[in-house]
A and B are shown apart, each in its own frame.
Chain A
C-alpha cells in the first residue's frame, strides 16, 4: 500500500540510522528538542509532517459532507441558489480571497524563515499572517452583520426581501439556457406573484449552507490565528532551525489548507449565476 512497501528493505528507523544522527538511545545524551521516543530529527520531522497531512485529509472529508449537501441542493433548487448568491457581496468576497492569499504567502515565508533559522523573520511573518487573518475575519464579521440586519439568518426570522432580487425586464431568458443536473439554469428570477415563497424557503437552505460552510471555515481560521499567536514566543526564543521547525511547518500546512477551502467556497457561494 505504501510507496515504501517495496522499495525500502529496512524500516524507516534503519534509514534514519543511515543518516548518522541516530542511536542516542536513553544511554547517550538525547539531543535537545528531540522527543525521547524518536531516534533522529529526520524521523521526528517526517512523523510530524505525515501526521499533519493525515489530519488534513480528515478535514477534507469533514468539509466534504457540506460540499455534498451543497451540490445536491444546488442541483435541486438552482433558482434559489442564484437568488441567495445574489445577496452576497462579491466585492467583499473578492477582497477576502485576496487577503487570504496574501496571508498564505506570509505564512509560507514564515516557514521558509524557520527552515533558515531566522528567529526575527519568523516572528515578523507570523505577525503579518495574524494581521491578515484577522482582517479576513473582520470582513467576514461585517458580512455576517449585514445578513443579520437583512434577516437572512436561517431559522431566525428569515426573510428574503423581494426587491433585493435582481429583477429581469421582459421575458424570462431561461429557456435559452439549458443546463445539466448540476448547474444553474437562468440569469435571474422573474418575480411575478407567488413563486418567491418557494424560493424563499430554499434560499434559506442556501443560507444555511453559506453560514455552515463559511462558519466552519471561520472557526478554522480562528483556531489558526490562535496557533500562530502561540508560535510567536518560541520562534523569538530561537526554538526553530533547520532541524526542528515542525510546529511552524505543521501550522503552516494547516493554514494553507484553510486557504484552499476558501478558494473553493468563494466561487461556489459568491459567484453563482452572476452573469446575465
Chain B
C-alpha cells in the first residue's frame, strides 16, 4: 500500500505505445495469412498481449497493490466461468446420441 504515487518515466509510456501499434499491425497482417485454426489463437493471443501491456503500464497495475491484481484476476476468472460452463453445455450436446439430451 504505497502512500505516494508512482510517476513513470516518459520513455516507458512511449515504448508501450509503439509496442501496441506494432502489435496492431501484426494482427492485421497475420489475419491475411492462412494459418488454419491458428488464426484465432494468434488474433486472441495478440489482443491479450496488448491488453496486458495497457493494464500493466498505462493503468499502473505493475506498481499497484496486490489487491488490484486480485480484482482484475477475479474479473477474468469469472468471465471464464461464464464462457466455459456455458460452452460445456453446447459442446457436449449430442454426445449421448439422443436428441435434446
Residues of A within 8 A of B (CB): 2-4, 12, 15-16, 19, 21, 40-42, 45-46, 49-50, 53-54, 56-57, 60-61, 64-65, 67-68, 71-72, 75, 90, 94, 97-98, 101-102, 104-105, 107-109, 112, 115-116, 177-184, 187, 242, 245, 252-253, 256-257, 259-260, 263-264, 266-268, 271, 273-276
Contacts and interface: CB of A to CB of B under 8 A. Distances in A.
A115 B47 contact: no
Interface of B: 1, 3-5, 7-8, 10, 13-14, 17, 20-21, 24, 27-28, 31-37, 39-40, 43-44, 46-47, 50-51, 54-55, 57-59, 64-68, 70-72, 74-76, 78-79, 82-83, 86-87, 90-91
B3 A94 contact: no
Given A105-B17, A264-B51, A271 B91 contact: no
Query: Max chain A CB contacts within 10 Å: which of B17, B44, B46, B72?
Result: B17
A271 B27 contact: yes
Given A50-B67, A94-B28, A274-B31, A68 B83 contact: yes
Contact of A64 (B5, B64, B79): B79
Contact of A19 (B3, B14, B54, B76): B3
Contacts of B50: 260, 263
A67 B79 contact: yes
Query: Max chain A CB contacts within 10 Å: which of B5, B24, B78?
Result: B5
A45 B27 CA distance: 37
A115 B24 contact: no
A275 B34 contact: yes
A276 B82 CA distance: 33
A220 to B, nearest CB: 15
Contacts of B55: 256, 260
Describe A's contact surface by its main secondary structure: helix
Nearest to A7: B66
A245 B82 CA distance: 35
B32 A275 contact: yes
Query: Max chain B CB contacts within 10 Å: which of A2, A108, A259?
Result: A108
Nearest to A242: B5
A129 B66 CA distance: 29
